[in-house]
Amino acid sequence: MRKLLALAALVALVASPAWAGKPRDQAKAEVEFGISVAQKGLWREAIYRWQKAVQLDPTYAAAWNNLAIGYEQDGRFDSARDAYEKALKIDPNNTLIRQNFEFFKEINDRANRDTIR
Amino acid sequence: MTARTATRFASLALLVFAAGCTTFYEITVETPIKAKLDTSAFQRVLVVGFVSGGSEDLDANIETVRLLRSQLRTRSSLKVVETDVLPLAEIAWRQAKETGTPPGAAAPLAAVPPAGQPPVAGGLSAQDPGEVPGPIKDEKDLLAYEQVFANVEFWKKLGEEHQSPLIVTGTVLFTPLARSGYVQRDREVIDPYGRHQVESQRTWADRKGFSLSPKFVFIDGRTGTVISSETFHEETLYDSAQNTPPLSSYFELMDRLIPRFLGTLSSQKIRGTRVLLR
């Protein structure tokens, strides 16, 4: 119940016209909301939120990272690769993003390997 | 937990430590992997039979059909057609005999028609092939039977009898292996101070086991043509003192292949862990 209330408060905050701060702040709110819904398994909503976040602030590496994960879960491998590459271009030394990307590449390679002869 | 998974967790823990004050959330993702073969045109699958050879201790044709059917029943959206298992080696041999190139007569491989074309008369042998096909011992023997997969009319007719399913057939070679070589064994030793220690030792050993080489051929039951084929190879070796029944080895080896076989026909989900960032 407490979690639901917190989620509702977050929705209200994001939707509020008062929340018209800097693009990074707005993007952060979207990212946080996306994380909270992804944790509940609502990946479509999460992807939508992270897409909004990268539109608001295209230099936000964490948003690109999360979006890439959302695309992975959705089976959109090309979009996931693009998003990971954008995240790493912005923040090349981020070991967490790099690790996510390595795991993704392993699965993506597996999907592309074993082509039918 | 495999060593690989353990390494991943360890590396993830290290990364988390290295990430310092970054806010992150670990999350489980299930990545969908599409089936390699587009089976949307089919509602049924018919695992019809295999040309099998190698060990005489088990009927690799019947066992493979049973196993694949049971796997497809539970892990595929296609309806599995239940029919008698075809003795495909005999059928192939009979078909080849009609065209004058029976496998037992050691027909030249050049006479085997390419995929998608019906078998043609040619490469006639002067030898009398006899009335029954000889035993299939190795890959070379199997090759001579492969022309059956190119017999479009045969597969088309079979497809018509079963409402145009996706036909799964192929070859299966299950052969005994015997190898000698160095193996690494762990041995517990007590050092001069009375402490127990584990020591790795390389020793020469005779080992025996089995190899399994299936080739799965997928045929369009509407047209009788081969859509695709996939070849696999797996081996298992045991200590020579260990008496493992051939059927157990067969299932052990098929267990390794089944996910790849199913990945051809149905989509799969791979579970993994990723880190969401704030």
**Residue A116 DSSP label:** -
Any B CB within 8 A of A72 CB = yes
List the single residue in A39, A73, A116 with the smallest CB-CB distance to B25. A39
Cα–Cα distance measured from residue B12 to residue B274, given in angstroms and rounded to the nearest whole number: 10
A112 touches chain B (CB under 8 A): no
Of A2-6, A7-11, B44-48, the least confident = A7-11
pTM of the model: 0.64
Give strand pairing partners of B46.
B167
Report pLDDT digits (tens) over B12-61.
555 555 555 568 999 999 988 888 888 889 999 999 999 999 988 899 99
Q: So what's the ipTM on this one?
A: 0.81
Q: What is the 3-state secondary structure (H, E, C) of chain B?
A: CCHHHHHHHHHHHHHHHHCCCCCEEEEEEEEEECCCCCCCCCCEEEEEEEEEEECCCCCHHHHHHHHHHHHHHHHCCCEECCCCCCCHHHHHHHHHHHHCCCHHHCCCHHHCCCCCCCCCCCCCCCCCCCCCCCCCCCHHHHHCCHHHHHCHHHHHHHHHHCCCCEEEEEEEEEEEEEEEEEEEEEEEEECCCCCEEEEEEEEEEEEEEEEEEEEEEEEECCCCCEEEEEECCEEEEEECCCCCCHHHHHHHHHHHHHHHHHHHHCCEEEEEEEEEEC
Predicted confidence band of residue B230 (pLDDT cuts 50, 70, 90):
very high
Distances in whole angstroms, Cα of residue A113 to Cα of each of B36, B217, B263: 10, 18, 11
Is residue A28 within 8 angstroms of chain B, CB to CB? yes
Residues of A in contact with B29 (CB under 8 A): 69, 72-73
Instruction: Give me the residue spans of the domains in chain A.
Output: 2-111
Sign of torsion over alpha carbons B80, B48, B260, B216: negative
Q: CB–CB of A96 and B22 under 8 A?
A: yes
Phi/psi for B85 (5° steps) reads -75, 130
Beta carbons of B33 and A110 less than 8 Å apart: yes
Residues of A whose CB is below 8 A from B12: 99
Mean model confidence pLDDT for chain A: 85
Q: Could you report the per-residue pLDDT of A61-100, keeping only the tens digit for each?
A: 999 999 999 999 999 999 999 999 999 999 999 999 999 9
CATH number of the structural domain A2-111: 1.25.40.10
